[in-house]
Amino acid sequence: MQKLVMKFGGTSVGNAERIRRAARIIKEHGTRETAVVVSAMGGVTDSLVEIANKVAQGAPEEEIKKFVGDVREKHIATIKGAVSKPHQEIALIEIERLCTELEKVLTGVSYVGELTPRSLDYIMSFGERLSAPILSEALNSMGAKSKWYTGFEAGIVTDSSFGRASPIWSETNKKVLKVLKPRMKDSIPVVTGFIAGDAHGRITTLSRGGSDYTAAILGAVLNVDEIWIWTDVDGILTTDPMLVAEARTIDVLSYIEAMELAYFGAKVLHPKTIEPAMERGIPVRVRNTFNVENQGTLIVRKQRETGDIVKAISVLKNAVLLTISGAGMIGVPGVAARVFSALAAQKVNILMISQGSSEVNISIVIEKSDLEKAIKTIKEEFAGKNVVKDVQYNKNVAVIAVVGAGMQGTKGVAARVFTAVANAGVNVLMIAQGSSEVNISFVVLEKDAKSAAKALHDEFIVRK
Ligand code: ADP
Ligand code: ASP
Ligand code: MG
């Protein structure tokens, strides 16, 4: 029998009607062994992050009560619309239990007045812990047999990098096979995406958007036939549809192409999703909950020869361009290496690197959330030595990546890319060094990102 992992994103479980729709989709494929991964209802994780920050800065108790009240109401209304009796009662009890716990946690943070990455993960975990019982009981209401699990209960064990945890594969393999696999035979497990636990059982998260990654982790361990990511667009599109209205669905992509797109900002897939799937050669399908007829995008190892040079253009916002400079860097070997290893030790994710031939400066692109940590790390690394003089940054940049396996060995692509961008009046701030052969990536001011993406989409996709 075919085995599947299906993941439903926040919009796809955004209200009662959508949860029923998701449950129907799951049930329709019930002839196969299926494990389901679910995100928090749309907007819930954002609201948890927001209240956590407010509470740490001293928001009054009434605000906590009001917030938890709203969360409770939203989920209860969803249960009433998506789950029938007697299953309603089970889901309602769970929601009540979780809301009481959430109020306690938020109150705790307000007393301490500090939000650690560990407490933030704990607070963010409520989004998925609230949605999973609802989807699971909606399935039970439809006559399917289902149980819900947290990612940790399902067997995903991570390191303790709160906010950006990675699975410990040996443990995860053992536990998922022991816990989840046997249960798939006669029921449909619904697992919370995004959250897991470390070796001490403390709740961790896989970084924002990480439910896709949960699906891929489970899919790889269970060695399923396919991993399906159900979302709110028809698949992976030629560019972000929010930026360029003409974006269209791509039928087939290779793992590498999809990985590059996800890494450089195509939000439809969490950047780490492809890795476990690729390792095991499991096809990933991205499909639209609101348009089930559409086959979506299939991601496999070997891309079909389409003759397309460029398949898609991605845009990554919330990036920062850091420039590290100092005349003392000239001729001093290993400055770049020291910068990178110091940043890596602090788990700062480096998206791009470039060093001018003059050696007077090194430019790197990182995520905005890592800015403070990165500057502190670099300053400490070179403290007291006359090597690095200055660390400057520009917080308002975006990375544009042009992706397509057809670029390999095709002459003149870079010239076409930068001519199109220049003709759109956009200034390029930095070009990556040593990028993979299937992408050309560069940095522009965030305000120019849309014009650049549109110009490239016109050049390579619309006109070809
Ligand atoms: P989910 O909640 O299902 O995980 P996300 O909001 O995380 O969904 O990702 C889907 C969204 O990603 C789309 O609605 C779209 O706005 C955005 N997106 C950005 N780039 C792309 C792209 N190249 N293809 C498809 N969607 C994209
Ligand atoms: N709910 C989490 C987030 O909003 C994870 C996800 O949706 O994939 O980041
Ligand atoms: Mg997502």
Per residue in 286-344, pLDDT (tens digit) is 999 999 999 999 999 986 677 889 999 999 999 999 998 877 777 777 788 888 899 99
Check pLDDT > 90 for residue 454. yes
pLDDT for the residue 357: 66
- Per-residue confidence at 239, pLDDT binned at 50, 70, 90? very high
Closest to 169 (Cα-Cα) out of 217, 211, 224:
217
- Per-residue confidence at 223, pLDDT binned at 50, 70, 90? very high
Considering only residues 407 and 44, tell me which one the structure prediction assigns the higher pLDDT.
44
- Residue closest via CA to ligand 2's atom 6 equals 209
Among 30-39, 273-282, 429-438, the range scoring the smallest mean pLDDT is: 429-438
Q: Is 87 in the pocket of ligand 1 (CB under 6 A)?
A: no
- Nearest ligand, measured from the Cα of 206: 2
Protein residues with C-beta less than 5 angstroms from the ion ligand 3 = 9, 209
Among 115-129, 194-208, 436-450, the range scoring the smallest mean pLDDT is: 436-450
For residue 443, the CA-to-ligand 2 centroid distance in Å is 26
Q: Domains along the chain?
A: 3-232 (3.40.1160.10), 312-462 (3.30.2130.10)
- Residue closest via CA to ligand 1's atom 21 equals 240
pLDDT for the residue 343: 93
Per the CB < 8 A criterion, the answer to whether 329 and 388 are in contact is yes
Q: Is 210 in the pocket of ligand 1 (CB under 6 A)?
A: no
If one residue of 194, 213, 229 were mutated to test the ligand 2 pocket, choosing by the most ligand atoms within 8 A of its CB, it would be 194
- Per-residue confidence at 358, pLDDT binned at 50, 70, 90? low
Atom of ligand 1 nearest to the CA of 238: 23
State the chain's mean pLDDT as an integer. Answer: 94
If one residue of 228, 230, 253, 267 were mutated to test the ligand 1 pocket, choosing by the most ligand atoms within 8 A of its CB, it would be 267
- pTM of the entire predicted model: 0.95
pLDDT for the residue 336: 82
| 259-268: pLDDT as tens digits | 999 999 999 9
- Per-residue confidence at 209, pLDDT binned at 50, 70, 90? very high
Q: Is 267 in the pocket of ligand 1 (CB under 6 A)?
A: yes
- Nearest ligand, measured from the Cα of 45: 2
